[in-house]
């Protein structure tokens, strides 16, 4: 699979796909998309890159073990759910900033929650795939 074309393409594909996945994540509240799909697309981006350049290359780009994304994502999701507790609302009440941002639209706790999901999905998928391809 390690052809020059594929290798070169994947180098450009990776940032593009990751960017695309973030786009999908952010628009999820209004149009098809969201944390699950975004996370999966990002993982596919890294998997393609690792197919073309080898796991070690991909890992050196990420710099840390993808498994660490799992607790981080879980923590973000939990904090975004627990944040309303601070102002006396019940767990997972939606909170929103007053003014919408230009591209994303309204920013609220749900978006942070979705980001948590996004990170967990990337963490889980990459951990599984990397572990398997390393040990086989």
Partner 1 sequence: MIIAILSGFIVASMVPILSKLIKGKGSILLPFLPLGLFAYFISFIPKVSNGIAVDRFYSWVPSFGIDLSFRLDGLSMLFALLITGIGTLVFFYTFSYLKGHPYLDRFYGYLSMFMASMLGLVLSDNIITLFIFWELTSISSFFLIGFNNDDPNSRKSALLALSITGLGGLFLLAGVLLLGTSGGTYSIQDLLSQSEALKSSANYNWIIFLLFIAAFTKSAQFPFHFWLPGAMKAPTPVSTYLHSATMVKAGIYLLARFTPVLGGTPEWNNTLIIVGAVTMTYAAIHALFRLDMKGILAYSTISALGILVFLIGLGTEQALLAAGVFILVHALYKATLFLVTGIVDHETGTRDVSVLSGLRKVMMPVAIAAFLAALSNAGAPPFFGFIGKDLIYEATLYLGDWAYVLTGAAIVTNVCLLFAGLLAGYKPFVGALPTQFEKVHLPHPTMWAPPLILAGLGLLFGLIPSLIEKSIIQPVFTSLVNNETVIHIKLWHGFNIVLGLSLLTLTLGAMLYWKLKPSENLMSKTLRFEVISPKSLVEKFRSLFIGLAQFWTGFFQNGYLRNYVITILGFLTLLLGYRLYQGVNLYIDFASLTDLTIYEVIVVIIMAVSIIFTVFSKSRLVAVASLGVIGYAICLIFLFYSAPDLAMTQFSIDTLTVILFVLVIYNLPKYKTFSSIGVRIRDGVLSIFFGTLIAILTLEVLSEPLNRETSIFYAESAYLLAKGKNVVNVILVDFRGFDTMVEITVLVIAAIGVFSLLKLRLKSIEKE
Partner 2 sequence: MELLLVMLIGLLYASGIYMMLRRSMVKLIIGLILLGNGANMLIFLLGRIVKGKPPIIDSASKMLTEIYADPVPQALILTAIVISFGLQSFAIILVKRAYKITATDDLDELNTTDEIYE
Q: Which residues bind partner 1 (CB under 8 A)?
A: 24, 28-37, 40-41, 43-44, 47, 67, 70-71, 73-74, 77-78, 81, 91-92, 94, 96, 106, 108, 110, 113-114, 116-117, 120-121, 123-125, 127-129, 131-133, 135-136
What residues form DSSP beta bridges with 96?
A: 108
CA 105 vs CA 4, 79, 84, 94: distances in Å: 41, 21, 21, 15
Q: Which is nearer to partner 2, 89 or 134 (CB)?
A: 134
> What does the DSSP 8-state code read for residue 95?
-
Other C-beta atoms closer than 10 Å to the C-beta of 7 total 16
**Contacts to partner 2 by CB under 8 A:** 30-32, 36, 40, 121, 124-125, 128, 132
């Amino acid at each position: 699979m390690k052809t020059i074309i594929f290798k070169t393409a994947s180098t450009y594909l990776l940032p593009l796909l990751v960017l695309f996945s973030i786009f999908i994540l952010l628009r999820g509240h209004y149009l098809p998309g969201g944390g699950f799909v975004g996370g999966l697309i990002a993982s596919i981006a890294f998997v393609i890159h690792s197919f073309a350049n080898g796991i070690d290359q991909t890992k050196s780009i990420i710099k840390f073990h993808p498994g660490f994304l799992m607790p981080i994502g879980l923590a973000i999701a939990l904090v975004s759910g627990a944040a309303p507790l601070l102002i006396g609302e019940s767990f997972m009440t939606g909170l929103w900033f007053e003014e919408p941002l230009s591209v994303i639209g309204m920013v609220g706790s749900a978006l942070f929650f979705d980001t948590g999901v996004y990170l967990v999905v990337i963490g889980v998928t990459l951990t599984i795939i990397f572990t398997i391809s390393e040990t086989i």
